[in-house]
Amino acid sequence: MKKLEIKNPGLKVIALALAILLWFYVGIEKNPFETRFFQVPVTYEHLDGEMAVNSPTKQVSITVRARSNQFDSLTAGDFTASVNLSKVKVGDNTVPVMVKSPSHVQVTKVSPREIVVTAERLDGKRLPVQVLETGQLPNGGKVKKYQAQPREVFIAGDPWLTKQVSKAVVQVNLADLYESTSLDCPVILLDRNGQALNLPGVEVKPNTVRLVISLDDAVEKKAVPVVATISGTAGEGYVLKSALAAPETVTIKGAASRLADIDQVATNPIDISGMQKDQQVSVGLNIPEGITVIEPDNIRVSLIFASREGTVSQKEVPVEISQLSPGLTGRLDQTTVQVQLVPKSNTTHLQASVDATGLGVGKHVVDVHVYSDDGSPVEEISPQRLTLTIT
C-alpha cells in the first residue's frame, strides 16, 4: 500500500505549524499559567561598617507568573529581595528593591518598588588589623609577609567601652604552617596591656578577616640517603640480614624551610612476611608534605636473608625525644627499650627516638623508631610504644 504523499510544499509548512499550535494548546490546557503572591524579607547589602540603618519596611510583596506545576515546589525562600546601601547618607534614603528569582518563573510586580531607609553614623573607631604570632614555623622557616583583607576593622558601641580597645588582632599558630596559605581569622580586641577584652555591646565590623600568609618559599635542592622501611617477619628460621636501596640517595626539592630538617627519605613499607630467599623488590618513596623528588621516584631494594641461628643480638638502647616544640619539655614513661637485631659488625651503633612533631601539652602514646648506623636490620623493639608526657 502506497503512502499518501503531499507534493505541495506550502501545505507541508501549514501542517507543521498547525501541529505546533495544537501541541502548545494542549500543553497550556493541561498546565496553564498561574499568578501567585509571596512575601519576601528585605536584606541589606554593601553597608559601610560605620553606619547603621533601619527601615519600617521589613518585607515586600511580589507577584509571580509561572506554569501551574512549577508552583508545586516553589516557596518564598526561592526569592531574595535586597537593597544596595553603598551610597546611603545620614538621614532618610529612598532606595530601589532588587528581586532575584529562579530562571523558570517571572516576577511581574514588586510592592513596594522602593523603600525608605534611615541611616545614622555609629559611635566607634577604626583600627588596623595586626597579627599576633604564637609558636614557630616548622624547620626554622620565616614569614615573608601578612596581608589582612580588609586591613582595618570598625569598633562600634558605647564610647566608654570602645575607649578601652587599644588593638584589633588576629592570632596565628605558626607551628601549624608548612606552606603559604590563607586563613579566616576571628578578630580579637586587646587593651593597652595586651589583654583580651570581652565587651558585650561592642560590635566588630567585620568580626572575621581573611589573612593571607606568604612564607619564605625559596626553592632548593638536596641529596639525601634512602632508608628502606620493613614490616612483617621473615619466614621461620630466617632473619632479614640487610635491605639495601638502589640508588642509595635521591635528590629532593622544596622550600628551604622544609628541607632544613630532612636528612633522609624512607621507602613505603616492604612486607617481608614469610620470605626466606634473597630477592629484589621495587617500591615507591614516602615523600614528606611539600617536598618533591627530582629523580628517581622509584627504588629497588635488595633483601638479603640469613639463617636465624647465631645471628640475633639484643641490646638495651636509650630513647631520645625529637622534634619537641620550643618551650615544652617531655618525659617518657620508660627511658630505654630492648632491641633485637642482626648486626653487620661488632661496632654496630643503634639510635632510638620518638617523634614529638606537632604534639602539645598532655599525654601521648608514641611509636619508638630504631635506626642503625650501618643498616643492620632491626628484628624487634620492646616495647614498641611509649607514653610521652609533655608539659
CATH of the domain at 321: 2.170.120.30
- Please state, for a pLDDT cut of 70, what percent of the chain lies above it: 89
Q: Does residue 6 form part of some domain? A: no
Mean pLDDT of 170-192: 90
Give the span between the Cα atoms of 144 and 238, in whole angstroms.
54
Residues 329 and 390 sit within 8 Å (Cβ to Cβ): yes
Q: Which of 282, 307, 332 finishes a domain?
A: 307
Residue 11: pLDDT band with limits 50, 70, 90: low
Structure confidence at residue 169 (pLDDT): 95
Structure confidence at residue 48 (pLDDT): 85
Q: 253 with 285, same domain?
A: yes
Q: 137 with 207, same domain?
A: yes
If DSSP codes are grouped into helix, strand and coil, which group holds residue 99? strand
Measured CA to CA in angstroms, residue 385 lies from 315, 337, 352, 364, 377 at distances of 17, 10, 12, 10, 19
Q: 303 with 319, same domain?
A: no
Q: 134 with 104, same domain?
A: no
**DSSP string of 121-148?**
EPSEEEEEEEEEEES--GGG--EEEEEE
Structure confidence at residue 130 (pLDDT): 95
Q: 180 with 238, same domain?
A: no
Mean pLDDT of 6-34: 64
pLDDT at 22 over 80: no
CATH number (domain holding residue 254) = 2.170.120.40
pLDDT at 228 over 60: yes
Angle 320-322-324 from CA coordinates, rounded to 5°: 125
Q: 329 with 280, same domain?
A: no
Q: 77 with 155, same domain?
A: no
Q: 41 with 104, same domain?
A: yes
Structure confidence at residue 23 (pLDDT): 56
Q: Does residue 351 form part of some domain? A: yes
Structure confidence at residue 113 (pLDDT): 96
Q: Does residue 19 form part of some domain? A: no
The partner residues of 115 in beta bridges, in order of sequence, read 95
Q: Does residue 17 form part of some domain? A: no
Q: Does residue 229 form part of some domain? A: yes
Q: In this predicted model, what pLDDT tens digit does every residue of 194-224 receive, in sequence order?
A: 999 989 888 999 999 999 998 876 667 888 8
Which structural domain range is residue 57 located in?
33-121
Structure confidence at residue 293 (pLDDT): 86
Give the span between the Cα atoms of 109 and 190, in whole angstroms.
50
Residue 54: pLDDT band with limits 50, 70, 90: very high
Q: Does residue 8 form part of some domain? A: no
Q: 129 with 117, same domain?
A: no
Cut 0.85: pTM above it? no
pLDDT at 311 over 80: no
Q: Does residue 96 form part of some domain? A: yes
Angle 251-254-260 from CA coordinates, rounded to 5°: 85
Give the span between the Cα atoms of 240 and 341, in whole angstroms.
9
Q: In this predicted model, what pLDDT tens digit does every residue of 131-177 receive, in sequence order?
A: 999 988 765 567 889 999 999 999 998 888 889 999 999 999 988 88
Q: Does residue 228 form part of some domain? A: yes
Q: Which of 90, 106, 121 finishes a domain?
A: 121
Q: Which of 215, 240, 257 finishes a domain?
A: 215
Q: 226 with 240, same domain?
A: yes
Q: 104 with 167, same domain?
A: no
Structure confidence at residue 289 (pLDDT): 77
Q: 208 with 128, same domain?
A: yes
Mean pLDDT of 355-383: 84
**Number of structural domains, the chain?**
4
